């Protein structure tokens, strides 16, 4: 007997036909004494449609005191899909019951539309499993201490599933997606990218932070917190995918580098010709922080040592650029900068692997691979388990392929 939590996203349950197919697949894989919990998202474009509906009340529905009502609105999306999926199981002869986030005891804080899980008391889930029911749970949602519905923000259904698996002490949490696992690089760019059998939580988090879109970081952190293995696999095939876990169990140890990540949504801002005096960097970065803009890579270079003039260069997420331009225009005037240069066509390529910890050769091999591909490196940054290089956006494919060839040579 195993207790397994399975999560299916919105595209897997976009129509009633697909909902029936999901139920069928789960039953075909279920051993007779398995206990199954299925976490689902809203059907297809439901959430977008609900947001559009709110747009009929106010063109800007995502603000201030609307947010509680947005959660009241959006949580109906998953409530529809759980009801239909539970009916689908019953249609196929399998007893099943649907439960909302509130009903599975998913307690959140009250930060509407971006809630955090505070704890889970899944007594009702155990009760229903013990009655032989497949339990179908609304992802993406919980309830605060008043009992008000709260959504968990982007990737929230994955987070729900992993947290619920943890609280239930499940044997495994399966995340069904439209990709069939975690690859050594984006398969759309690197033809011979390899599907990993296993990857550690830390590596997966670093990959996600550096641009790999398979899993939202919060759900991986949740898996790490509960030490709950997360099996990322395809909705469309029965092949095994990639298991995210604390440590490797099999032979893949020999790849010290676990993956090559890239991020196209990078903008580079150079504040040129600023006086080399205390507080200058503080003025720039505090004003960005006040505007809630995260800064990624930072370089300060002394351009002219005689005249004591600096350049400060940093990168931000491209979506923050319009706001950042305004902020920097004000700040650069205040600090008397000579000029500001904005480059939108930048990208970051990174190598990730717990095996590189304390082994200095990896960065050099990466730079060599970039040189062979004729890719110029703009900025370099490192963490314990990654090295990142800022490059021209137009050179991303060349850069990623060359690095991948270096670390994952064809066998």
Under the binding rule (CB under 8 A), the answer on residue 114 touching a copy of itself is no
Under the binding rule (CB under 8 A), the answer on residue 86 touching a copy of itself is yes
Q: Which of 5, 13, 20, 205 binds a copy of itself (CB under 8 A)?
A: 20
Q: Which of 51, 87, 111, 299 binds a copy of itself (CB under 8 A)?
A: 87
Q: Which of 32, 33, 65, 238 binds a copy of itself (CB under 8 A)?
A: 65
Q: Which of 83, 240, 298, 299 binds a copy of itself (CB under 8 A)?
A: 83
Under the binding rule (CB under 8 A), the answer on residue 61 touching a copy of itself is yes
Under the binding rule (CB under 8 A), the answer on residue 80 touching a copy of itself is yes
Closest CA to 382 of 267, 299, 300: 299
Q: Which of 25, 30, 68, 303 binds a copy of itself (CB under 8 A)?
A: 68
Under the binding rule (CB under 8 A), the answer on residue 145 touching a copy of itself is no
Specify the residue for token string 């060599």.
368
Strands 339-352 and 386-392: antiparallel
Nearest residue (CB) to a copy of itself, 80 versus 298: 80
Q: Which of 19, 22, 220, 370 binds a copy of itself (CB under 8 A)?
A: 19
Under the binding rule (CB under 8 A), the answer on residue 130 touching a copy of itself is no
Q: Which of 48, 69, 178, 333 binds a copy of itself (CB under 8 A)?
A: 69
Nearest residue (CB) to a copy of itself, 119 versus 279: 119
Q: Where do contacts with a copy of itself occur on this chain (CB under 8 A)?
A: 15-17, 19-20, 50, 53-54, 56-58, 61, 65-66, 68-70, 72-73, 75-76, 79-80, 82-84, 86-88, 90-91, 95, 97-98, 100, 102-103, 124, 146-148
């Amino acid at each position: 007997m195993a207790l397994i939590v399975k999560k299916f996203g919105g595209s897997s349950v976009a129509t009633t036909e697909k909902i029936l197919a999901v139920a069928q697949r789960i039953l075909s894989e279920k051993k007779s004494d398995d206990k199954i919990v299925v976490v689902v998202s809203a059907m297809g474009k439901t959430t977008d449609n609900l947001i559009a509906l709110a747009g009929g009340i106010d063109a800007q529905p995502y603000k201030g005191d609307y947010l509680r009502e947005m959660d009241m609105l959006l949580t109906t999306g998953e409530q529809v899909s759980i009801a239909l999926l539970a009916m689908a199981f019953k249609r196929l002869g399998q007893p099943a019951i649907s439960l909302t986030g509130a009903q599975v005891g998913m307690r959140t804080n009250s930060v509407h539309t971006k809630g955090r899980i505070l704890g889970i008391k899944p007594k009702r889930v155990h009760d229903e499993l013990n009655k032989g029911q497949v339990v179908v749970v609304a992802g993406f949602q919980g309830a605060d201490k008043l009992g008000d519905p709260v959504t968990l923000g982007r990737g929230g259904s994955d987070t729900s599933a992993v947290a619920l698996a943890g609280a239930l002490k499940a044997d495994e949490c399966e995340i069904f997606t439209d990709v069939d696992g975690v690859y050594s690089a984006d398969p759309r760019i690197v033809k011979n990218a390899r599907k990993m059998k296993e990857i550690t939580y830390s590596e997966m988090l670093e990959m996600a932070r550096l641009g790999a879109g398979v899993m939202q970081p919060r759900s991986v952190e949740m898996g790490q917190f509960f030490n709950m293995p997360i099996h990322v696999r395809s909705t469309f095939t029965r092949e095994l995918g990639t298991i995210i876990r604390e440590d490797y169990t099999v032979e893949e140890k020999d790849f010290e580098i676990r993956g090559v990540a890239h991020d196209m949504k990078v903008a580079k801002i150079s504040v040129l010709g600023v006086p080399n005096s205390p507080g200058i960097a503080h003025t720039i970065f505090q004003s960005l922080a006040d505007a809630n803009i995260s800064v990624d890579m930072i370089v300060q270079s002394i351009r002219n040592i005689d005249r004591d003039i600096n350049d400060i260069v940093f990168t931000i997420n491209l979506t923050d650029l319009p706001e950042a331009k305004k902020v920097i225009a004000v700040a650069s005037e205040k600090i008397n900068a000579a000029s500001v240069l904005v480059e939108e066509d930048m990208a970051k390529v990174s190598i990730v692997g717990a095996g590189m910890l304390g082994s200095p050769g990896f960065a050099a091999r990466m730079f060599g691979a970039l040189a062979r591909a004729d890719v110029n490196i703009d900025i370099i940054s490192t963490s314990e388990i990654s090295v990142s290089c800022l490059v021209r956006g137009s050179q991303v494919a060349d850069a990623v392929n060359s690095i991948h060839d270096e670390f994952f040579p064809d066998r």
